[in-house]
A and B are shown apart, each in its own frame.
Chain A
């Protein structure tokens, strides 16, 4: 193939660049028509790969990005990624078509909408085609960002912004965890390529990072695919325009997590943790979502919880499919097939249902199911589509949902026979939970379609006069609904073209060619099959419960809002914000003393601790020089002067004592054979004292401003700590000199090389003249600074007045 098809991933982004221009310049035509070409072209293009993958082949195209780090954009098209690419572009095209009629070209900011949507399309194609985990992560976050933008599309509404932020927080949290997992995988395998990682995966089992990487990657998948307990962002994301909900939050983005689990199954299926987590969390999500869907009163909220629940179903099937890694029996081999098959089915019926919910909203002005009813005769086409979608969702024949539900029940029943990892004990729970969840699925499907379209007409009370939607708006849902029916009658064609290549991609350890996946979908298993009786049970119990819905729906009110997962999320957010505020107020007092206390305490504690922990404290008396009498006397003088500084009550006393300290330091310089230092010190001390006197004359009296005794005590302790630290460090470092001084060189060469006799001066201006240069600069800057502070106050005052 000559075309570098990896570039096609970026086609929507490139197209997005022109959208604002088209939107501004061409007012007569709805911008969506231009956009429509992109997914349609891509869809047609990606269908050409179906032939390749059906034969067990794959296509690869690579674009180097950062070769030195092993990071590249790769378009790897095998059964799984072709299937997802077709879903993305196919449903993308239908959604764009639908949005043309849903969004008004004069009232809406279409430029923004389609830019975000195309951005999302690129990101999604990148996620499912990337073979490089780093570029996969890049596209993954791009889906989060574009989803954030789309949910917040009507950004003037509070609920939209809240929903956008919430989904961002949850999915980006998961994304970052996933990045951690990817990096651990990269460390384990020494490569970022998924194919190479899969090839090396047998060596990962038992690696110290294996389980950690597994859990981190699952966190990414669970947050994106709205699994328990991370599903909370999805119902709030329903504030997005309905085409977005249909596209992102039912058919594509939420399936990115499923894709991730499927893609990494060959690496992690060896782990017990993987099978338990994926199957268990999936089943829990299925149950939880179906249970709470019945509680909702908003059409899109029902669909959101239903999406959560169905994603859980697919997730649990992916987990059950991973069992084939351990037991290669026909009993388990169709779980993965069922997962992929249901993934396709769900995309078709959920997409159409969302579009119908949008139509109902569009044509009646409300999505509240309590206000709706009796729309069947007014909106016959919408009703038909909604009926087909709902019945498929409930798992009834002759719709595709029936087939996948049967296979789901069959898989859950099969889990009982899995003997490892404690499944023999707990396996029986799985079919029971799955069955109860299916009953609730049945109830909310009926609830959704019949409460909206049958019953008493409430036409007068609706915000708008209801009528059937325009034909253009109905095209997409009708196409999807026809697929729902068509797949029921030709499941094995779909299986052969799309599902089996995908299954082969997920289970390369088991199959080397799609035709080896021996699964034949049939609608009729005979009376002997347990699934059939389970389905009949679902229908009977579900129907009974649906008919008595008004009697028991109120029990949902028992659960108080304060202990829901949403309340926990809100509490966490408030707590982190308030808690962090309180924490920083606690230690950021604004007082300089507090900060200095931290600094000094840290300095002395860590230094002393390190000294003794590392056995670094050594005093070697032999290296010390002799104690001189003059030195001792001078030391006493200096100590006395310091004491006077501390005790002095007046400014003058303190300055004089400070001067005394300076002069005795100068005396030390004399005693220790440093004439230049002594000279400088004397002069500078004199000038300093003069400066102090000059400045202090204008300052208030020396005062401790009523400092409390306890503060003074703390200051004293910290000060003593610093003093002791300095003494200990000085003693032990002097005792442990590792190399001789370089001063011998100066002594030897001062006359021959520099032609001077005073070594200190020669060092200052010759050997190390740069120090001196910049020391002069420091003095100059200090002088200019002083001048500035004194002279420029008028100008500064004026400007500060202006600021006020």
Chain B
């Protein structure tokens, strides 16, 4: 299963990077969303996909899934959500001020050379 997941994660990263390299601010934000999904799945996969039961203590269960990567991902999900929300509002504000979402037009001016 890890092989499938590794390829899947590769696809997620490819799509994310492709979007991040585009000129549209919207696509960049979507790209970061995909990137965090890829990263979360990567952490999970690297922890090992074996384990017959969820990591909750119950009678007669010995083969738990690894709880540590899950805890790490949980933290990461929340943080990436916070960052995404912040970026969305920032994109909204940037558009309100600059009237564009074209990254080529948002480049720095020559004043600070």
A-side residues, CB < 8 A to B, are 589-593, 596-597, 600, 619, 621, 623-628, 631-632, 635, 638-639, 642, 645-646, 651, 654-655, 658, 661-662, 665, 668-669, 672-677, 680-681, 684, 687-688, 691-692, 695-696, 698-700, 702-705, 707, 715-716, 718-720, 722-724, 726-727, 730-731, 733-734, 741-743, 746-747, 750-751, 756-760, 763-764, 768, 771-772, 775, 778-779, 781-783, 785-786, 789-790, 793
**CB pair A719 B65 closer than 8 Å:** no
A733 to B2 Cα, complex, angstroms: 11
Min Cβ gap B26→A in Å is: 6
Name 18 interchain pairs, CB-CB below 8 A, sorted by A: A631-B5, A642-B12, A642-B15, A642-B34, A654-B27, A661-B12, A668-B44, A680-B74, A684-B78, A695-B91, A704-B27, A718-B21, A723-B14, A727-B7, A734-B2, A741-B66, A760-B71, A793-B93
Instruction: Compute how far the CA of A548 lies from the CA of B84 in the bound complex, rounded to whole angstroms.
Output: 87
Binary interface encoding of chain B residues 12-37 relative to chain A, with 1 for a CB under 8 A from any of its CBs, else 0: 11111111111111110010011001
Contact A707 B22 (CB under 8 A): yes
In the complex, the 3 A-B pairs of residues with the closest C-beta atoms, listed nearest first: A723-B14, A727-B10, A782-B82
**A722 and B77 contact, CB distance less than 8 A:** no
A684 and B30 contacting across the interface, CB-CB below 8 Å: no
By beta carbon, the residue of chain B nearest A756 is B57
B interface residues, how many (CB within 8 angstroms): 85
Chain B min CB distance to A782 (Å) = 4
Q: Which of A635, A674, A758, A790 has a CB less than 8 Å from the CB of B8?
A: A635
Contact residues in B for A746 (Cβ distance below 8 Å): 67-68
- Given A757-B56, A760-B71, A778-B82, answer yes or no on A645-B30 (Cβ-Cβ < 8 Å): yes
- Indicate the member of A677, A757, A771 with the most B CB atoms within 10 Å: A677
Q: 0/1 per residue, B72-105, Cβ < 8 Å to A?
A: 0111011101111110111111011000111110
Interface-centre pick from A631, A654, A782, A789 (highest chain B CB count, 10 A): A782
Whether the pair B1, A675 counts as a contact (CB closer than 8 A) is no
Q: Are B21 and A760 in contact (CB under 8 A)?
A: no
Chain A residues lying within 8 Å of B14, measured Cβ to Cβ, are: 719-720, 722-724
Q: How far is the CA of A223 from the CA of B73 in the complex (A)?
A: 62
With A654-B30, A778-B78 given, is the CB distance from A715 to B88 under 8 Å? no
Q: Smallest CB–CB gap between B49 and chain A, Å?
A: 5
The answer to whether A759 and B57 touch (CB under 8 A), given A592-B103, A716-B18, is yes
- Further pairs besides A624-B3, A734-B46, A741-B48: 18, Cβ < 8 Å: A589-B107, A625-B2, A626-B1, A635-B4, A635-B5, A665-B37, A673-B52, A675-B54, A680-B77, A680-B78, A700-B95, A704-B23, A705-B102, A726-B10, A731-B6, A771-B75, A779-B81, A782-B86
Give the chain A neighbours of B22 by CB distance below 8 A: 593, 704, 707, 715
A691 pairs with B85, CB closer than 8 A = yes
Within 8 Å CB of A680, what residues of B? 74, 77-78
User: Is B23's CB under 8 angstroms from A593's CB?
Assistant: yes
Q: Are B101 and A699 in contact (CB under 8 A)?
A: yes
CB-CB nearest in chain B for A724: B10
- Chain A residues near B27: list those with CB within 8 A: 654, 702, 704
Given contacts A658-B30, A673-B53, contact A628 B1 (CB under 8 A): yes
Q: Which residue of B lies closest to A751 (CB)?
A: B57
Assess whether A786 is in contact with B73, with CB atoms less than 8 Å apart: no
Q: B37's closest neighbor in chain A, by CB?
A: A665
A626, B45: Cα distance in complex, Å = 13
Check B4 against A627 for contact (C-beta < 8 Å): yes
A707 — which chain B residues lie within 8 A by C-beta?
22-23
A448 → chain B closest CB, angstroms: 49
- CA–CA, A756 and B54, complex, Å: 14
Is the CB–CB distance between B4 and A631 below 8 Å?
Answer: yes
What's the Cα separation between A672 and B53 when bound, in Å?
Answer: 9
B21 (CB) vs chain A CBs: closest residue: A715
What residues of B have a CB within 8 angstroms of the CB of A760 in the complex? Answer: 55, 67, 70-71, 74
Inter-chain CA distance A741–B71, complex, in Å, is 14
Is B75 in contact with A625, judged by CB distance below 8 angstroms?
no
A665-B40, A676-B74 known; A731 vs B3 contact (CB < 8 Å): yes
B4 surroundings in chain A (CB, below 8 A): 627, 631-632, 635
CB distance from A742 to the nearest CB of B (A): 7
Contacts of A692 in B (CB 8 A): 88
Residue ID in chain B nearest A772 by CB atoms:
B75
Residues of A within 8 A of B18 (CB): 646, 715-716, 719
| B55 touching A645, Cβ below 8 Å | no
Contact A673 B77 (CB under 8 A): no
| Chain A residues positioned under 8 Å from B13 (CB to CB) | 719, 722-723, 726
**A504 to B: closest C-beta gap in Å:** 60
Q: Is the CB of B2 within 8 A of A624?
A: yes
Residues of A near B2 (CB, < 8 A) are 623-625, 730-731, 734
Chain B residues with CB under 8 Å of A624's CB are 1-3, 49
A630 CB to nearest B CB, Å: 10
| Docked-complex contact B55 and A782, CB < 8 angstroms | no
Q: Please, which residue of chain A has its CB at the minimum distance from the CB of B104?
A: A591
Complex Cα distance A764/B89, Å?
Answer: 29
In the complex, what distance in Å separates the CA atom of A781 from the CA atom of B14? Answer: 30
Are the C-beta atoms of A768 and B101 separated by less than 8 Å?
no
Q: Is the CB of A723 within 8 A of B17?
A: yes
Residues from chain A with Cβ under 8 Å of B21 in the complex: 593, 596-597, 600, 715, 718-719
Say whether, besides A702-B27, A771-B75, A600 and B17 are in contact (CB < 8 Å).
yes
